[in-house]
Chain A
Amino acid sequence: MKIAIASGKGGTGKTTLSTNLAAFFAEKKQVVLADLDVEEPNSGLFITGKTEQIDVKYKMIPQWNEDTCTLCGKCQDNCNFHAVIRLGSQILVFPELCHSCYACSELCESSSLPMIKQRMGELKQIRRGEINFIESRLDIGQEQAVPLINQTIQYIDSKFPQETLKIFDAPPGTSCPVIEATKDVDFVILVTEPTPFGLHDLKLAVETMIELGRPYGVVINRYGIGNADVIDYCEEHKIPILAKIPNSRKLAELYSKGKLVYKELPEFKEELQKIETYILNLEME
């Protein structure tokens, strides 16, 4: 079972929920926690343990072979991303624009653009008790998060049986990285806060989940601030509210230190129990 924890707006508490939920579940059974916010991965600040594996992750890009190239220029025509350009008697490759589609390479009649590996980031697997924590980290300067997210999910699929509970800490927003992180999961928890920004971005996230056809529910963080519009919206659209995490400066302080909060805040633990019950029911279905 795969659960993604996502949100339209950043800073609503995805990482707080993902790490605490994983640790809470791990008191009873093995879980996988994956940080798929590869641009700014933070879960690892809360989950430390024994490093079991480090994998460098690559994307494939074409490399020009000057000796065999006939300079026909078809590669340039075949690349929709302007990543391969013929300039005079040279073929230039712009790796940051390349989407690794292989068209230039495989359609090159003289096979002068073989695909080679280019480092884009690093995957780390860490073990802490019953938590298997996987973190992928995009190298600074790499612009595309999607290939790394995709490879991270493939890694998890190959390493852990289907029945293991997997919690994905997804990137924020509604564009391609979120889609990649949530498109194959069984359930998405959308974390929001009861403010106008929270509501606006929640609506976008809900639209995204409808488009993807993923079942979803909402967790309201910092409950007590703002207004009741988020609750009204969820009720009106029959969106289940799994939990309401009360606003607390104490929580913000514990979070700032990189601590798991549920052990010190019983009111937070109660909300985790509600989410746990919801997920256990989903697993039985």
Chain B
Amino acid sequence: MKEIVVISGKGGTGKTSITASFAILAGSEAVIADCDVDAADMHLLMQPVIKKSVDFYSGVVASIDKNKCSNCGICADVCRFSAISNINNRHIVKSLDCEGCGYCEKVCPEQAIKMYEQNVGDWFISQTKIENTLVHAKLGIGAENSGKLVAKVKSEAKQIAEKENKDYIIVDGSPGIGCPVVSSLSGANYVVLVTEPSMSGLHDLKRVYELVKKFKIRAGCIINKSDINAEITKEVIKFLNDESITHIANLPYDEIFTKAMTVGETIVEYDHSELKKLLAQSWEKVKIEVGN
């Protein structure tokens, strides 16, 4: 079983549309994991029926018992996150600012502060319209620990893939280079980088690849909208060569991405010409690359 993670650094490059196309092409060979838990969109293309839904608790947040509190203010003094304020002579925790370190709880002379487990979201096991399994999640608003939710989604997907003897786990990764991406990458066998030939696209590709290198995972790259800027496409290809990243495919700028999404379909379901062919070839190439 091989874990393939699709990431992009920059948003809006077509990562989710491409990942969902791979999910359709892989069919019963794969379990799908949507690890872009901040803005999970995969379900809009895969129309899953939720089979299992679980609350996700992670981290804690402080709460002050006003009956015990003497308003001494020691908690506010030690809090490095300005999460406790004194409003009308009452000390109150602003839970969005609380990091859950528990320092206040430990120094409160009245034992008036307790840390409560926080429900930071939900995760789901679903059956998609082509009846493969999708593990996905919804992160609560402003929640911390999205990296942990990503790890949970991945470990569930892995368990299912092992149990059902699947060849692949296809992971829609998160944007950026921070904790959710780090979680998305850990344990992966292969990374598909989706980029676009813009200054921003190339810049973000280079940064996120620095991170991929730290994990020593092999990578391939799809250049989407490659005809938007021929010059930067050349620069991207040069970067791929320099770094020994496999150049999987160039995809043209095509509004089929949007049109397919608008009717809730993946590109390979909506399109029956060039783009579908290119994506099918890309998936075959990825399969050869991961060696299965």
Contacts and interface: CB of A to CB of B under 8 A. Distances in A.
Interface residues of A, number: 59
Contacts of B143: 175-176
B44 interface: yes
In terms of DSSP, what is the predominant structure of the interface of chain A?
loop
A212 B228 CA distance: 38
B200 interface: yes
B126 to A, nearest CB: 16
A48 to B, nearest CB: 11
Given A40-B204, A197-B16, A258-B199, A183 B147 contact: no
A45 B200 contact: yes
B175 A101 contact: no
B80 A101 contact: yes
Interface in B15-69: 16, 38-39, 41, 44, 59-60
Contacts of A101: 80-81, 99, 101, 103
B72 interface: no
Most chain A beta-carbon neighbours within 10 Å: one of B100, B179, B203 = B179
Interface string B182-197: 1000000000000011
Contacts, number: 181
Contact of A257 (B9, B178, B199): B199
B122 to A, nearest CB: 14
B101 A103 contact: yes
B142 A140 contact: no
Nearest to A202: B39
B288 interface: no
Of A11, A15, A141, A208, the most chain B CB neighbours within 10 A belong to: A11
A256 B204 CA distance: 13
A76 interface: no
Contacts of A212: 96, 142
A142 B107 CA distance: 30
B11 A197 contact: no
Given A10-B10, A10-B175, A80-B60, A140 B39 contact: no
A102 B175 contact: no
Interface stretch (A49-57, A86-94, A166-174, A264-272): A166-174
B286 interface: no
Contact of B144 (A102, A140, A173, A176): A176
A143 B179 contact: yes
B262 interface: yes
A255 interface: yes
A226 interface: yes
5 contacts: A10-B12, A11-B10, A42-B199, A81-B101, A211-B141
Interface of A: 8-12, 15, 37, 39-40, 42, 45, 78, 80-81, 99-103, 106-107, 138, 140-145, 171-179, 183, 195-197, 200-201, 204, 207-208, 211-212, 222, 225-227, 249, 252-253, 255-258
Give me the 3 closest cross-chain CB pairs, A-B, nearest first: A11-B12, A10-B11, A101-B101
